[in-house]
Structure formats: structure tokens, C-alpha cells
Amino acid sequence: MNAVVALCHFCELHGPSILFCTQSFHDSEGPWPIKENNENPLPKKSWYGPPESLQRSNSISGEISGDKAPDTCEGCTSMTGNQKGFISNDHEARVSYISGQHPLHPEVFSMVRHACVRSLSCEVCPGMEGPIFFGDNRRGHVLSHTFFMKDSQARGFQRWFSMIVVMMDKTFLLNSWQFLVKNFQNFIKELQDKAKKVCIMEQSESSQRALRFNRFTRVTTPNNFRRQRGNAKGRSLTELTNDKNIFSILHLWFTWILQAGASRLSERLVEGLPSEDTIIQLEKEETEDGFIRICTNKDTDEIKTKFNNLTMEDDQDSSKDPRIESLRELFNFLGKEKFRSLAHHVLIGNQIIMRGNFPELMKSFILCIKEILPRGCYHPIFDSPQYEDSWKCNFLSLQPDVVIPSHVMGSELYLIVDFRSKEETLNRSGNIPLLNFCCSLFSNAKLPEKIPHVLSEIERIIQDQLLSDSAVLAFLVALKEEWMNKVKVLFAFSRAGQRTQEETNKLLQVLGAQEHDKQLLKFWMTGLSMQYKTHVLSTSIQQGSVQQA
């Protein structure tokens, strides 16, 4: 990430000052030749940046505009003696990360210094502590997180700090807001906890509050106020936290921020507008209050634990309960006639009910056949202990002993799929290969003479052995998007006013749809996104108002 991360401090004597900062330098040798085994032939270096960068003095602040470096105290100094900073190298990416008191380049120092002053004296967020954004294209864009640290010897018993990120790319910085703020808050909490322990220990040994109260009980005049207040210089961060390695820890923190921040976002080639399936998925990710849920660290750990547990369970059960991995494998498992009957019921919106004692097999069955439907038309319930109505789900897997209501058994709007295994082939270990499973389909509806055009295309592409499974899925995505566009036109046409049957038939002819496609179009219309439906309805209302006026 092309940015500078810095810790800044407001010194009571010297004002805002850069305390510690980290920046990255990339290999300066240009393109890297790659061998056939994809290994980088260039040797490892101790420094990947420009050679002259390391030759610059650590007190570069005095070189800015010919100004003399201001006096400093321990409170606004990080590097002491001959120590100039810390360096870490990422040999695989050929990047060096260097930390020190100030940035190595005068122009970068000027930008970071300006951001430091604004973060601690000009830009204030509500509550004084928290993140804030400011900046411009000339001096860079800044994310600043201000905070206090306990100090028993400071005025108000606390000191004022900020962590800042300075970069020129405003969009990248704002897109990294949650990542940066979350990790800054973790770093800040550790610093505050360290300082709080030191402060409590010092207060228990000698109460600074009592000493100051006794000092100021004497008569105070303008002449002796400054003498009574004293001119004590600030204490170093090492002393505040009682951690002599605090700056090496900060170097590791800031280095990780720059490295992880660069790898978490990547550019993607967008070939067009988002598909209807993509919009539906985004709508499903929203909560009831309209916000998209972001996983916290705790949530992520729980998800990983659940995922690992599920993976272990799946591995244990997979030998007894095989799965169907692709739509083509499902076609071969069912045969052409059964597949056509199943796919036809799925495409026109009839409820698919599966019964059996093989929950993983039935789930994989549903996950494969759902690929022929738009995402907005897919509503499953897996391994249910009781029957669920069709308005709740169009895919339902039931335990084998669940009783299906009589009105379902006598209707043409349902398809029942019963799974069973050939017990005579069951071996001693209980393992049953997929070939030893079979299923029967039951429905009161008869397959029409002319099937929807979408189903004809699906059968044609599945039976083409020259195409891989990934190519079949890509074709299905394009086919669904093509027909969802036709559905959109039909939906907008139907909401624009009363239409005659003749006008509707003419529109279907223009769209390339026929009479046997109507059920499919009607069902797929229910899978349109709320965003599109709202847009069409609001547009039709506005047009109606204009016509009335």
C-alpha cells in the first residue's frame, strides 16, 4: 500500500510532532525476469529501495524549506542515540518497510507533518477520540484516529496522540476505512492498556493529584504561575508504557498494515453492468435496517470454526452419503426423461419435494438443479422435519417419515422425488456408491408436447460432450441473463397500463418467446430484484401523473 503510517503526539512544550512513522520502498531494478519454474532469479537484498534513501539523515525535518529542526524532548522523540530506525524486508514481493522518527523524503515529510498538525490541533471528531478523514489532492488524503493515553505526570493525567495514514489515492483510502479503523483501534487499546497499568502503579506509590493540590494551595500570581506549574518535559512512550520494545512493536504493526492493506484490495475487470443475480445477492445480504453485515473478528472465528466442523462432518459422511457434483452428473444420474420432467417443473415454479434418508445427497441434488434458475427464484428448505407450503419454498427436502398433505398429492403443481438405495449392494462398511442409488418421480401433471425454449437449450448444452462443466455453467449464466432481460421488458410492459392479449402476444413475438414459454416468464418475473421493481413502478406512477396533468 503506497502510504505512510505514523504515530503523532501533542507535546505540551513543542506542540504537534511526528513520533514514529513507517513507509514502504519497492525494488528499484525494474522488471524481474522469471524462470520457467516461476522462481525469481534476483538475489535477496538487505534493502530494496533507492540506495540514496538510507543515506539521508534521520533528522530530515531540518532540511524542509531550510528551517531549523525545533527543540525536542523525550515525549516527542522515538529514536535516540545512534539508532535511526527499523527495516523489514518482504523478499518475495521485493519490498522494504522502514520505520523511524520521520519520513526519508522531504516532500513526504512535509505532507506527514501537515497531516500531524491538522490531526492534533485542527480536525476534531465528536468525543475527541475516534477516526476522522480530511485532506486534498495537493497535500494528500488522511485518515486520523485520535486517542488519549494515561500519564500520571501530565496535565489532566493524560496525553494526546493520533495514528494517521497518509496517501494520495482518496478512493483506496476510503475503501480501506473499516480495515484501517478496526486495526488502529486494536493497536490503540493495547497502548492504552499498557499506559493505564503504569499510571495506576505510579498513583499507588505516590499520588500526583495530592502533590499538585498542595502545591497550588499557595497564592498564585501571574509571575509565579509558570514557576509553580513547572517546565517538566514530556516522558517518552517507552516510559509511559513501561515497554522498552514498544517502537519495534509499532514497526511490526505498521508494517503489517501496509502489507495487508495492499493485498486486501485488488482491481477487477468489469465487463458490464451487474447482472440481476448479483443485485439479488446484494439485496439478500442486507439486514432489516438496510445495512450490510460485516464480519467482526469474533464472527470470523466462529464462521471458521463452523466451517471446519462442517468440513470434518462432510468428510466423515461423504463415504456413506455420496453427492452429485455437477448438472451434467445429475443429468446422467436421472436420465433424459426424468431430467426433462424435473427441469420443467423447476423452470415453471412448481414445488420440488424430496424424500429420503440421504440429506447430503438430496442437498447436492438441489444445489445442482438450482443452476438453471435465476437466484431470485431459488427458495430452499433442507432436511425439514415437516412439510412446508410452496409459498415458503420451491425446493423442500424431507425426512423419510414425513407425511405429505393430500392436497399436495392430488395437485399438478408439485413434483415428489423419492430416494432409495439398492440394499442388496450394501457392503459391510455401509458405503453406498452413487450408482447404487435410484430415485422415482411422481406428479399429477403431464409433460407438455412443447417444452420451454430455455429447457431445450439446457438439454442441448448438457449433452454436448465437447464442453466442460465450467463451460456449461458459463452458458447457463448467459442464458438466464438473456431471458431475465425479456422478463424485465414484459414486467415493464405489464405495469405501464392495461394491455390487450393481442398486444401481449405481439410483444412475446418480438422477444422471441412463444405460448409454451409463458409459464416460465411468469414465474421468473417473481425473481426480479426489488431495485428493478421499485424503479419500474415509480416510473409508471410518474408517467401516469404527467398524463393526468
pLDDT tens, 221-254?
555 544 444 445 678 899 999 999 999 999 999 9
**In terms of pLDDT, which residue wins out, 378 or 432?**
378
For residue 153, the tally of other CB atoms under 10 A from its CB is 16
pLDDT(396) > 50 = yes
pLDDT(490) > 70 = yes
pLDDT(341) > 80 = yes
159 has which bridge partners? 149
pLDDT(546) > 60 = no
The pLDDT confidence band at residue 77, using thresholds 50, 70 and 90, is confident
pLDDT of residue 185: 95
**In terms of pLDDT, which residue wins out, 282 or 171?**
171
pLDDT tens, 459-487?
999 999 999 999 999 999 999 999 999 99
Give the residue among 395, 501, 351, 519 at the shortest CA–CA distance from 448. Answer: 519
pLDDT(358) > 60 = yes
Average pLDDT score, the chain? 81
pLDDT of residue 215: 53
Q: What Cα–Cα distance (Å) separates residue 204 from each residue in 198, 208, 209, 216?
A: 10, 10, 11, 21
Label the pairing between strands 395-398 and 351-355.
parallel
**Cell representation of residue 203:** 498513583
Helix or strand holding residue 24 (H, E): strand 15-26
pLDDT(28) > 80 = no
Highest mean pLDDT out of 42-46, 318-322, 368-372: 368-372
For residue 437, the tally of other CB atoms under 10 A from its CB is 19
pLDDT tens, 127-169?
889 999 999 999 999 999 999 999 988 888 899 999 999 999 9
d(CA 43, CA 132): 42
Give the residue among 448, 460, 275 at the shortest CA–CA distance from 350. Answer: 448
